[in-house]
Amino acid sequence: MNQFFNTEQQTDEQVFTVSQLTQSIKFVLEQTFEDISLTGEISNFKPYSSGHWYFNLKDEGAVINCVMWKGLNSYVFFKPQDGMKVVLKGRITVYPPRGNYQFDARSMKPAGEGELQAAFERLKRKLYEEGLFDEIYKKPLPPFPHKIGLVTSIDGAALRDIISVASRRYPICELILAPCKVQGSGSVEDIIESIKLLNKHKDIDLIILARGGGSIEDLWSFNEEIVAREIFKSKIPIITGIGHEIDFTIADFVADLRAPTPSAAMEIATPDIELIKNNILSGISRNYNIILSQLRNYRNALYQITNSYFYKYPLDRVRNYQQQIDSSFYKSSQLIDKKIHIADLYLKKLHYNLKLYDVNNMLNRGFTLILQKNKFVKRMKNLNLAEAIKIKFFDGEIEINNN
């Protein structure tokens, strides 16, 4: 019976307390998996307002809780999305109060180049389907931008290139710099803040969002959804000049215009000052020619007028009329003269005839006339001796009164 109470073997056997066991597990796990790489697909990704990230990593057969602390996740160049395959570096930690274990990630990388490309394509498709790339939303660029906002790094080569293009092509514009980080921790928020800041200034005509060349990781901030949405929201037209000619980012698709490089963005944004000068000069010489030809036309018209027959011999018409008048006058005066002559002849003849019958001639020759009551007494029988008789002589009259 005693053997039932034989505890010889059991005296070697250790009885763990929960804490002891957990501590042992913690020790074993944390020692064993102190510095490992872990790959899987992200799910249930939750960025907390504290800045820490909580998510699961899973594959076909298993799932593990993961955490990535604020200070470390800021070095992740992309915002993780559910479904993205990543490689984490870190360790297993055990949290005794809750008896669970989790993976404490120190770094996160996409599981391969293809993974980033896939994330890029996913976002591109999503935004495309939402219409963010539609032509109808593309704002027209001002032909003569007065103030150009620049969203880029203050000490990047991109900024120097942009400034040199602006001072060569269009130095009358003003550059308003809203500097920002263009890669790494905080760059996404920084880019967004700069675009917002410029949009608060109502007089900015155009924004150039630029970054020099780099790897796909370096350019990744420009592939983030929130950057794309901020570009879409901007009231001011945005030209992107990101990376090299072959690099396309989501920002490029949303922007009102995509330029292949930062310098090209400024080239597109600004008119060439030399070209404007030439245009002004050729415009002026064109205007000058217009005035000249106008003057020439007027001069010709004037010349035509002053050389017209009428203008040259203004009295001709008058003279013609005069001649006409003269000749008709001549004709009529001739006729009149003739008529006068005939009348004259006729008058002379009458006069002569009259002379023949003139009483005075008879009286002169010695005949007398007898009048009674102022009437000639032509026959003897008409003479009334009882009345006064008047006798008319050539040289006078006498009256014989019989009473």
Partner 1 sequence: MAKQKSNISFEQKLKRLEEITELLESENTSLEESINLYEESVQLSKECISILEKAELKIKNLKNEMKELSIKDLNNNE
Contacting positions for partner 1 (CB under 8 A): 144, 146, 154-155, 159-160, 163, 166-167, 171-179, 194, 197-198, 201, 273, 276-277, 280-281, 283-284, 286-288, 290-291, 294-295, 298
Cβ proximity to partner 1: between 28 and 295 the closer is 295
Cβ at position 162, least distance to partner 1 in Å: 10
Token pair for 254: 């949303």
Our CB check for partner 1 shows the closer of 25 and 176 to be: 176
Minimum distance, C-beta of residue 183 to partner 1, in the bound complex (Å): 18
The smaller minimum CB distance to partner 1, of residues 183 and 270, is found at 270
Nearest approach in angstroms of CB 151 to partner 1 is: 10
Nearest to 44 by CA among 57, 25, 31, 27: 57
Q: Residue 358 carries which side chain, given as an amino acid letter? A: D
Q: How far is the CB of 49 from partner 1 (least distance, A)?
A: 25
Q: Which is nearer to partner 1, 73 or 153 (CB)?
A: 153
10 Å CB burial of residue 220 (0-12, 13-18, 19+) is buried
Q: How far is the CB of 193 from partner 1 (least distance, A)?
A: 9
DSSP conformation class of 206 = E
To partner 1, the closest distance from the beta carbon of 84 in angstroms equals: 33
Q: Are 206 and 236 in contact (CB under 8 A)?
A: yes
CB 120 within 8 A of CB 223: yes
Total residue length of the chain: 403
Q: What is the amino acid identity at position 323? A: Q
- Distance separating alpha carbons of residues 42 and 59, to the nearest angstrom: 9
| Cα(148)–Cα(237) distance, integer angstroms | 10
Closest separation between CB of residue 159 and partner 1, Å? Answer: 7
Residue with smaller CB distance to partner 1, 146 or 375:
146
Decide: 210 and 242 in contact? Cβ < 8 Å.
yes
User: Could you tell me if 166 and 160 are in contact, meaning their C-beta atoms sit under 8 angstroms apart?
Assistant: no
Cα–Cα distance, 49 to 39 (Å, whole number): 26
Q: For residues 92 and 192, which CB has a smaller minimum distance to partner 1 in the complex?
A: 192
Residue (197 or 216) nearer to partner 1, CB: 197
Given phi > 0 = left and psi -120 to 50 = alpha, else beta, which region is 131?
left
Q: How far apart are CA 350 and CA 301, in angstroms?
A: 72
Minimum distance from residue 279 beta carbon to partner 1 (Å): 9
CB atoms within 10 A of CB 99: 11
| Closer residue to partner 1, CB minimum distance, 118 or 276 | 276
Judge contact between 200 and 169, C-beta under 8 A. no
